[in-house]
């Protein structure tokens, strides 16, 4: 990282309107437009598919192992984000790991409240099993809300008696709908993108009157025994730092192999800015190495 790279990204993030000042349709449009500017691997092939009523997108490169895949669940506080907004992150991660990726457009709040995204994630995973992928060759991944959703998915699979995947990758996961991490306050001035106020808004749209302590909503509070190895990447400068630390501790206490990386002074999900930020490229490379190690 150069100081100049980091400053450019933080200046860019501080120049956009605060999420709390935008409507949900405006947030969705802005993030999709931003995602359209991200460079994709030159040799990537995209294929749009449907899983029931859900839209999804396969990506693959010529060197991808056809038997290994990453099911990716985008971030966006359960209210925005899409296959389009995260296409660059997902395809570059898949290319570096040498695996196929399936990015899922799960249903969003407030139109579709909890537990709709969990149900959709399970449907996406069942689709992979139906396509003949061995569970140990599947990884699930996600960032922010999608990172929490990846853990919630694995809990739901285990509880339903389905085989869990071979590994999980969680980037700055949001795992606590009670919003009780100390970093919600201690990192508030350092995080240009996420705030406790905005997470409270999104939580209200998503959970509504449902139980915030349900493990499918707050996997931090669930039984994590029997889950596969998990890699967590988070920045020291974000309000979700304590979510990452606490879920890593809970996983370790449940005898789950967990690898926690804390990257200093990065914005939330800095992987999205890999075109501009060398740390974004390095984090993707290390995450890809974990996936190669676990599912190829």
Cite the active site residues: 144, 238, 268
Euclidean distance between CA atoms 128 and 143, whole angstroms: 20
Sequence-separated (6 or more) residues with CB below 8 Å from residue 49:
55, 56, 57, 58
How far is CA 243 from each of CA 90, 209, 239, 249, 294, rounded to the nearest angstrom? 23, 23, 8, 10, 24
Start-to-end CA distance of the chain, whole Å, equals: 30
Counting Cα atoms < 13 Å in the Cβ hemisphere of 178 gives 13
How far is CA 136 from each of CA 132, 152, 156, 169, 183, rounded to the nearest angstrom? 12, 18, 17, 14, 34
Q: Is the peptide bond prior to 115 cis by the omega test (within 30 degrees of 0)?
A: yes
Exposure pattern of 149-178 as b/e (b: 16+ CB <10 Å)? bbbbbbbbbbeeeeebbbbbbbbbbbbbbe
């Amino acid at each position: 990282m150069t100081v100049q790279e980091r400053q450019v990204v933080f200046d860019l993030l501080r120049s956009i309107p605060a999420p709390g000042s935008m409507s949900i349709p405006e947030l969705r449009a802005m993030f999709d437009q931003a995602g359209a500017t991200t460079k994709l691997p030159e040799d990537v092939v995209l294929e749009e598919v449907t899983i029931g009523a859900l839209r999804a997108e396969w990506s693959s490169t010529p060197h991808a192992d056809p038997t290994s895949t990453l099911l990716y669940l985008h971030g966006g506080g359960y209210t925005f984000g899409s296959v389009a907004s995260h296409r660059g992150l997902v395809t570059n991660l898949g290319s570096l790991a040498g695996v196929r990726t399936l990015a899922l457009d799960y249903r969003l709040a407030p139109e579709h409240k909890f537990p709709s995204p969990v149900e959709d994630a399970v449907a996406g995973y069942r689709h992979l099993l139906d396509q003949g992928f061995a569970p140990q060759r599947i990884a699930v991944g996600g960032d922010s809300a999608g990172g929490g959703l990846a853990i919630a998915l694995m809990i739901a699979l285990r509880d339903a008696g389905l085989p869990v995947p071979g590994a999980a990758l969680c980037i700055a996961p949001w795992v606590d709908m009670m919003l009780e991490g100390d970093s919600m306050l201690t990192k508030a001035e350092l995080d240009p993108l996420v705030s406790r106020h905005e997470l409270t808004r999104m939580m209200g749209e998503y959970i509504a009157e449902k139980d915030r302590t349900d493990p499918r909503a707050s996997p931090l509070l669930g039984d994590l025994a029997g889950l596969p190895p998990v890699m967590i990447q988070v920045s020291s400068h974000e309000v979700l730092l304590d979510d990452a630390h606490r879920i890593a501790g809970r996983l370790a206490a449940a005898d789950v192999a967990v690898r926690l990386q804390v990257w200093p002074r990065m914005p939330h999900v800095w992987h999205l800015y890999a075109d501009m930020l060398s740390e974004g490229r390095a984090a993707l490379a290390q995450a890809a190495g974990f996936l190669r190690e676990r599912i190829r």
